[in-house]
Structure 1
Amino acid sequence: MPGHPFSTVIITKNEAENIRPCLAAIRHVCTDIIVVDAQSTDKTPDICREMGARVFEKAWEGYSENKNFGNARARHDWILSVDADEVLSPALIETLENWTPRPKTVYALDRISSFCGQWIRHGAWYPDWKIRLFDRRVVQWTGDFVHEKPDYPPDFKVVRLKGKLYHYTCKDPSEFYARLDQYARLAALEMFEKGQKPSFFKQFFSPGFRFFRDYFLRKGFLDGRAGRDIARANACVVSRKYARLKELYQTKHRGN
């Protein structure tokens, strides 16, 4: 590991099926791996400890909160943020082995996602550059329930690193749709907490626009049936999100 030292932070909950490949790849380039586990009921914490990670138990308080909690417990100031269902490619490992940080810079990784075994190269899922390597002294995760993002100074430069970050999203459609349903509920709650009002126009027209954008404008059709299914699912999430937001406001008004 001749490169500049950094710590890796991963948040988990019931990721026993995914975490081994994730950790195995990271161990090539990092000796300080922090796992923030949100009270898993499977063997996730045991597997992480077995593979050399330091595990901290923390009740789920949102993506940003749990990620920042992990960052604060790292041994190094530079943080690589990875999800449990992501794996560093050999090319990305090589890049990190030779990486040296620059001042006023954050680093983005070229994430590519699989859908039921097929790599998606168009539509809403690709390209998908994610800022995942940064200095915790000047960068924090922000956001509430679903839209977490790294907050960095405006004069910082974003540098793209070579090599893919493999993202294994789901093994079957049912798993995928279950995740999207949860995402829609959390997104609606986030909008509700921010005071965003229900909109008839958005509820009925945004889903169609989302499908048109992802499938046609972003060429999701080039991924075949998978591209169509993803575009449909994204449109469905938008519809459910606004429907759920309306339900939250109706419940609030009945309570008053």
Structure 2
Amino acid sequence: MKKLSVVIITFNEEANIARCIDSVKDVADEVIVLDSMSSDKTIAIAREKKARVFVGDFKGYIDQKNKALQLASYDYVLSLDGDEAIDEQLAKSIQYAKKNFMFSAYSMNRCTNYCGQFIRFGTWYPDRKVRLFEKKIAKWGGLDPHDKVLLPDRTAIFHLKGNILHYSYESVAAHNRQNEHFSTIAANSYRKAGKRTNPFKIVINPLWAFAHDYIIRAGFLNGKHGLVIAFKQAQYTYKKHIKLFRLQRKQGAPVVSIHEAKNNSNNMKSETDAATPSAIIGAR
């Protein structure tokens, strides 16, 4: 059986890190935690769980995940965020795959817990992610904060049964804070990448985000949380485009969100794009 490194990036995840590490105990040959100088008990808890803990400056989600990847001792890596865990079915699937890794990359579904309810419909599920892969062929890319695994063209990806459980939003207020924070990061990333927006996109794209999640992808089947999520998807899309539009007009310093003005921009926990698959064969 081949060995597997589990790498986890964290910032102030004392409420989640024990669950994350415990969930991989039957599949991990080592657990590595790369922390962004947490001010809570994240580091202490990770050490109690026998993880190898490293601490470093946070310069972006993509950069941090690539740093964590380089800390792995073994050829195959499972990459998680501190607010994630794997369910029993996924653990069994990974155990079976470890007997003889036949593929260079493996995908799995991610199921997000929103205010205590696992979301099974809409654009948030199945939310397929490539998270288990051969270290030498993969790297993290994308545009912060929406990272994805980049693989060589024609890489075969095998889909594993089971779910990554994503304990992302304990309240609507937490979702609002993340929308504010992530839309700022996205606007600055898009500007640096040369992407542009316009008044038409500012109006139409949020409407499409709502319709796509709530109607086309049947988010209404999630009940009242489904309506909230669809609205927040539209809100995030609007914020992202309006901030990018302001940057285009100012051509000045990066946008600073209200949340960042009150807190260091490094005090938000790592999240990944919660609306689209992380990677497909080749690249998204």
The residue type paired with residue 44 of structure 2 is: D
The residue type paired with residue 166 of structure 2 is: H
Displacement after TM superposition at 1:103 (Å): 5.0
Aligned to 2:20, which of 19, 22, 26?
22
- Number of the residue aligned with 1:34: 32
Distance 1:139 1:194 in 2: 21
TM-score, normalising length: structure 2: 0.85
- Number of the residue aligned with 1:222: 221
Distance 2:203 2:143 in 1: 25
Correspondence 1:51-66 to 2 at 5 A: 51-66=49-64
Compare relative contact order (CA 8 Å, sep 6+) and give the higher one, 1 or 2: 2
The residue type paired with residue 19 of structure 1 is: I
The residue type paired with residue 149 of structure 2 is: P
- Number of the residue aligned with 1:48: 46
Give the number of aligned pairs.
Answer: 253
Distance 2:101 2:5 in 1: 17
Segments of structure 2 that go 5 or more residues without pairing to the other structure are 254-284
- Number of the residue aligned with 2:124: 125
Identity %: 33
Residues 127-136 or 89-98, more deviating:
89-98
Displacement after TM superposition at 1:209 (Å): 1.1
- Contact 2:116–2:170 at 8 Å: present in 1 too? yes
TM-score, normalising length: structure 1: 0.94
Distance 1:157 1:102 in 2: 12
- Number of the residue aligned with 1:178: 177
- Number of the residue aligned with 1:151: 150
- Number of the residue aligned with 1:76: 74
Residues 92-101 or 204-213, more deviating:
92-101
Partner of 2:166, secondary structure, is: strand
Displacement after TM superposition at 1:252 (Å): 2.0
- Number of the residue aligned with 2:2: 4
Partner of 1:82, secondary structure, is: strand
- Number of the residue aligned with 1:96: 94
Residues 185-194 or 243-252, more deviating:
243-252
What is the aligned-residue RMSD (CA, Å)?
1.7
- Number of the residue aligned with 2:164: 165
Residues 137-146 or 101-110, more deviating:
101-110
- Number of the residue aligned with 2:249: 250
Displacement after TM superposition at 1:250 (Å): 2.9
- Contact 2:84–2:166 at 8 Å: present in 1 too? yes
Displacement after TM superposition at 1:161 (Å): 0.6
Displacement after TM superposition at 1:4 (Å): 2.5
- Number of the residue aligned with 1:238: 237
Segments of structure 1 that go 5 or more residues without pairing to the other structure are none
Partner of 1:109, secondary structure, is: strand
CA separation of 1:215/1:77 partners in 2, compared to 1, >3 Å: closer, same or farther?
A: same
Distance 2:16 2:75 in 1: 27
- Contact 2:143–2:190 at 8 Å: present in 1 too? no
- Contact 2:109–2:125 at 8 Å: present in 1 too? no
Distance 1:111 1:102 in 2: 21
Residue deviations 1:200-254 (CA, integer Å, cap 9, x gap): 1101111111111111011101111111110000000011111111222333269
- Contact 1:4–1:99 at 8 Å: present in 2 too? no
The residue type paired with residue 92 of structure 1 is: L
Displacement after TM superposition at 1:197 (Å): 2.3
Residue deviations 1:66-121 (CA, integer Å, cap 9, x gap): 11111111110100011111111111112222223545531011211111111111
Residue deviations 1:17-49 (CA, integer Å, cap 9, x gap): 111100111122213111111111111111111
The residue type paired with residue 210 of structure 1 is: A
Distance 1:253 1:109 in 2: 41
Residues 131-140 or 83-92, more deviating:
83-92
